[in-house]
Amino acid sequence: MIRVEDLNYAIPAAEGAKPVLRGLGFEVPRGRLAALLGPSGCGKSTLLRILAGRQRADSGRVDVEGPAFTIHQESSLFPWLDVHENLHFGSLSGLDPALVARLLRVAGLEGFESHFPHELSGGMRRKAELLRAILSQSPTLLLDEPLASLDALSRHRLRREFKMLLREFPRTVVLVTHDIEDALDWADVIFIASHRPMRILQVIERNANGGLGLDREGLLRVLESSENSNLQEKR
Amino acid sequence: MKRWIPFGIVTVLGTLLWGWLAARSGLPEGVFPGPAAVATAAAQELASGEIPRHALQSLFRYGVSFAATTLLGTSLGLVFWVYSVCRAALQPYVHFFRFVSPLAWIPIVILAFGVGHLPVIVLLFLATFFPTLAGSLAALERVPRRYLETGLDLGLKGWRLAARVQWPAALPEILAHLRIAAGVGWVVLVAAEMLAGDGGLGFAILDARNGMRVDLVLVYLVVIGLVGLGIDRVFVEFRRLARLGWSFREALSEEGA
């Protein structure tokens, strides 16, 4: 579970502190995937760094069931290790070979265990990273625009396969993105974030039938109206 | 066209031009020898075992010195990275000595060690150690933060993080620095052997000059170049290994993605 209450953070600068997060608050129940949808540069990556415990907030409260595992925008599979070694990295007690084999099969990476990251496609690298995150046993995953560098079809396939994996190995996930397809396809709950200083403008939750109650156009309208009201407030 | 064809054409034309110039210069063969005279001298030196003897002597000195440079330069880089106080105290000295020509050490080294293997090894070490240490440190500092953060997420800290993530991530760049140092070292070795050696390829060139044997000077010049190319080849082959050459392949695969 992740709980953030009244979080404030500002970047110190010569001409005065520049606020990045102001009074930010939200909650992600255990095992749910929350998408944080906001404009570029609104402070999403800063928030992830605070959730990961790599950066201290100025004030407020952050509860993250840890340790958290971050999947970065660029591949962070270790390029000097093959897929098998990457998946087993950091595991002192050793992993269950049957579990690793099953995960590889589910992710379509069976037969690629001895391949190095540079021998895989961008989509395969992302899948291997997610498997490593799942095998790390971290209860919380922080995804920083993990599909940003992929083409539309790869993104679509990966979202489907990630969802399947997360259904089988539930984790609390915060997905930071500015792509509405990621949010619509993937999230149990969508937080619409404002421009910097970031705060949550609106929360859209999936209903009991699994629907969000709005489509692509609907979400775009929500984003537009949120942005307009945000700008009016600033004026 | 195969890569060796232009190279072969240039070599044949260059040798013909050299022979023509030597024949037309009007200078005696002892002053400006042609390709045939140099080839004859090379054959004689090979048959007498002089070329292998000098080459092995140089390679022994080079090997001992470069092994010490590799071991100390790269491992101290890691120590400096882990213990920032070491870096703060000693890094300015590393850069200071990097700019002191190894040849400037010659009087002190000869005074301290005389002539023979040891002064050459010490000079060569001084020429390669400081650039290797500075390069290793720079490579370690340039490792992308995401690899370190992933290592932390996977439960590594301190020395384990340094040895299992920082070090291998920096290794391709460290190898590039070692390759440059290897080239510099080979150049310095010849100069050091001329001044403080009692054998080796540098000494052989000096000896040939003292005997007014320009043909032998040219023979050893070619040997020095060929051995240097061989040393560089070792580094090129290292890059082909998947665990070391990944930075180049990764860049290529991402461009093509």
Residue B243 to chain A, least CA–CA distance (Å): 4
Residues 6+ apart with CB under 8 A from A193: A36, A37, A38, A39, A42, A43, A44, A199, A200, A201
Instruction: Write out chain A residues lying below 8 Å of B174, CB-based.
Output: none
Partner-chain contact A118 B250, CB within 8 Å:
yes
Partner-chain contact B149 A52, CB within 8 Å:
yes
Q: What is the band of A235 on the pLDDT scale with cuts at 50, 70, 90? A: low
Average pLDDT over every residue of A1-17: 88
Partner-chain contact B169 A80, CB within 8 Å:
yes
- Extract the tokens encoding A66: 């840890």
Q: What is the band of A40 on the pLDDT scale with cuts at 50, 70, 90? A: confident
Residue B252's pLDDT is 46
Average pLDDT over every residue of A94-112: 86
Residue B13 to chain A, least CA–CA distance (Å): 43
Partner-chain contact B242 A116, CB within 8 Å:
yes
For chain A, first and last CA: distance in Å?
Answer: 36
Nearest CA in chain A to B248: A118
Taking the model in full, what pTM does it have? 0.82
Between A138 and A230, residue with greater pLDDT? A138
Helix, strand, or coil (residue A64)? strand
Of residues A78, A116, A122, nearest to B257 (C-beta): A122
| A18 has a pLDDT exceeding 60 | yes
| pLDDT tens digits along A135-175 | 888 999 999 988 887 888 888 888 888 888 888 889 999 99
| pLDDT tens digits along B101-143 | 888 998 899 899 988 899 999 999 999 999 999 999 999 999 9
Partner-chain contact B257 A149, CB within 8 Å:
yes
Residue B257's pLDDT is 37
Averaged confidence pLDDT in chain B: 90
- Cis amide leading into A197 (omega within 30): yes
Helix, strand, or coil (residue A193)? strand
Partner-chain contact A118 B147, CB within 8 Å:
no
Partner-chain contact B252 A118, CB within 8 Å:
yes
Of residues A52, A90, A117, nearest to B154 (C-beta): A90
Partner-chain contact B250 A117, CB within 8 Å:
yes
Nearest CA in chain B to A49: B149
- Chain B residues contacting A, CB < 8 Å? 144, 146-147, 149-151, 153-156, 164-165, 168-169, 171, 242-244, 246-247, 249-250, 252-254, 257
Cα–chain center distance at B257 = 36
Q: Is the ipTM of this complex over 0.90?
A: no
Instruction: Write out chain B residues lying below 8 Å of A54, CB-based.
Output: 149
Partner-chain contact B153 A117, CB within 8 Å:
no
Residue B164 to chain A, least CA–CA distance (Å): 9
- Residue B111 to residues A225, B108, B190, Cα–Cα distance (Å): 83, 5, 19
Residue with tokens 């109206």: A225
Phi, psi angles (nearest 5°) of residue A31: 80, 5
Averaged confidence pLDDT in chain A: 87
Average pLDDT over every residue of B34-55: 95
Q: Is A151 on the interface with B (CB under 8 A)?
A: no
Q: What is the band of A234 on the pLDDT scale with cuts at 50, 70, 90? A: low
| Interface mutation vs chain B, best among A55, A118, A171, most B CBs within 10 Å | A118
In angstroms, the CA A154 to CA A151 distance is: 5
Residue A139 to chain B, least CA–CA distance (Å): 12
Q: To 10 degrees, what angle do helices B4-24 and B35-48 make?
A: 110
Ordered DSSP codes for B129-144: HHHHHHHHHHHHHTS-
Helix, strand, or coil (residue A19)? strand
Q: What is the band of A57 on the pLDDT scale with cuts at 50, 70, 90? A: very high
Instruction: Write out chain A residues lying below 8 Å of B255, CB-based.
Output: none
Residue B255's pLDDT is 39
Between B165 and B235, residue with greater pLDDT? B165
Count of CA atoms in the C-beta half-sphere (13 A) of B116: 5
